[in-house]
């Protein structure tokens, strides 16, 4: 085993962010050559990242940045396996790099965005943290006035594009979106298949069975109208003033809602539940 100083181990730790024992092992295998040790660690990180890529990353953070002139904004979701990793300074620094690159390029294709330097940084982070890290999505919103709101947990955010108004109004509506979770801007935007499915659900409800066809049809139409109002942004009561609808609020400001996006960490990701005791037993048996 090669002899090397504690100072060399310290330098390798500072340059890689890895633990002392892993750094000592790498230096020993590289016969004290720190550059070779770093190269070997980078190669190993790729293998570690590949192994961890199959593990579900459903935690993490969302991050948002809006242009100074409020003409566009970008939202990203970066996932980790645990909230502990999502609060790591290195993880958050990586999120910042991804956000800046997405904002500068307006690139929403994750594969294209991550090619090269950013993916190398991701692999290094996987090696350091020991969890699967992935950039799940990048969303671009453009308009005359774009505003945003990020919840204090960094797990939920929204971007809103208006045809006019100001950034403060857009922020207020974005906050409303995070709280109330509308599906569409207006009822006319609701996909026909969603309406058809809702109608099917309503018709299957017990109180519809004994109703004459014409009465049932009126009841269905009434409930569909309620469903559309509850899920359309402009029809919802504004959270900061329930006496006023969001549509009335923006009309008062002389503008319209062009689009919105709501981003919540892990939404739609199925997390496999693991029996920890069984897993440990299987490992011991293996």
CA distance 26 to 22: 6
Same-domain pairing of 254 and 115? yes
On the question of pLDDT at 124 being above 90, the answer is no
Condensed to tens digits (0 to 9), the pLDDT of residues 239-262 reads: 999 999 999 999 999 999 999 999
Contact 158, 263 (CB under 8 A): yes
Same-domain pairing of 48 and 32? yes
Same-domain pairing of 48 and 110? no
Give the count of beta carbons closer than 10 Å to the beta carbon of residue 107.
Answer: 17
Contact 234, 175 (CB under 8 A): no
Name the residue range of residue 141's domain.
59-176+246-264
Same-domain pairing of 16 and 136? no
Q: What is the pLDDT of residue 234?
A: 96
Condensed to tens digits (0 to 9), the pLDDT of residues 1-17 reads: 467 888 888 888 767 66
Give the tokens for residue 20: 């002392």
At 43, the pLDDT band (50, 70, 90 cuts) reads low
Q: What is the pLDDT of residue 5?
A: 85
Contact 44, 127 (CB under 8 A): yes
Position 197 in a domain: yes
Position 277 in a domain: no
CB burial of residue 47 (10 Å; 0-12, 13-18, 19+): exposed
On the question of pLDDT at 202 being above 80, the answer is yes
Give the tokens for residue 152: 């204090």
Find tokens 């090669």 and name the residue.
Answer: 2
Point out the domain boundary residue: 30, 52, 74.
52
Same-domain pairing of 122 and 255? yes
Give the count of beta carbons closer than 10 Å to the beta carbon of residue 132.
Answer: 21
Condensed to tens digits (0 to 9), the pLDDT of residues 169-192 reads: 999 999 999 999 999 999 999 999
CA distances from 63 to 93, 139, 182 (A): 11, 11, 20
Average pLDDT, whole number, for the chain?
86
At 116, the pLDDT band (50, 70, 90 cuts) reads confident
Give the tokens for residue 112: 């294209």
Q: How much of the chain, in percent, has pLDDT values that exceed 90? A: 51
Mean of pLDDT values over 37-55: 60
Position 133 in a domain: yes
Give the count of beta carbons closer than 10 Å to the beta carbon of residue 57.
Answer: 22
Who contacts 263 (Cβ-Cβ below 8 Å, separation ≥6)?
A: 62, 75, 77, 137, 139, 156, 157, 158
Q: Which residues of 86-96 are buried (b: 16+ CB within 10 A; e: fewer)?
A: bebeebeebbe
Same-domain pairing of 100 and 152? yes
- Lowest average pLDDT, out of 103-112, 227-236, 273-282, goes to 273-282
CA distance 226 to 223: 5
Q: How many domains does the chain have?
A: 3
Same-domain pairing of 64 and 123? yes
Residue 133 sits in a domain whose CATH number is 3.30.479.20
């Amino acid at each position: 085993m090669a002899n090397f100083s504690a100072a060399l181990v310290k330098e390798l730790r500072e340059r890689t962010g890895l633990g002392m024992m892993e750094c000592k092992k790498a230096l020993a295998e590289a016969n004290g050559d720190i550059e070779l040790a770093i190269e070997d660690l980078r190669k190993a990180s790729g293998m570690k990242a590949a192994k961890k890529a199959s593990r579900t990353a459903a935690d993490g953070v969302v991050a948002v940045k809006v242009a100074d002139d409020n003409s566009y904004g970008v939202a990203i979701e970066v996932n980790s396996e645990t909230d502990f990793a999502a609060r790591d300074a290195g993880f958050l620094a990586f999120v910042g790099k991804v956000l800046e690159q997405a904002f500068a390029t307006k690139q929403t294709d994750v594969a294209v965005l991550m090619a090269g330097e950013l993916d190398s940084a991701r692999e290094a982070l996987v090696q350091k943290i020991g969890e699967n890290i992935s950039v799940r999505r990048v969303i671009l919103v453009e308009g005359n006035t774009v505003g945003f709101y990020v919840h204090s947990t960094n797990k939920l955010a929204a971007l809103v594009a208006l045809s006019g108004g100001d950034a403060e109004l857009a922020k207020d509506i974005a906050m409303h979106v995070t709280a109330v979770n509308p599906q569409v801007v207006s009822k006319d935007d609701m996909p026909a298949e969603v309406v058809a499915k809702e109608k099917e659900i309503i018709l299957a409800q017990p109180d519809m069975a004994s109703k004459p066809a014409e009465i049932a049809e009126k009841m269905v139409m009434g409930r569909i109208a309620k469903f559309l109002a509850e899920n359309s942004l402009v029809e919802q009561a504004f959270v900061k003033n329930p006496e006023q609808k969001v549509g009335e609020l923006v009309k008062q400001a002389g503008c319209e809602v062009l689009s919105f996006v709501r981003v919540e960490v892990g939404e739609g990701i199925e997390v496999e539940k693991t029996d920890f005791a069984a897993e440990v037993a299987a490992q011991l048996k293996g």
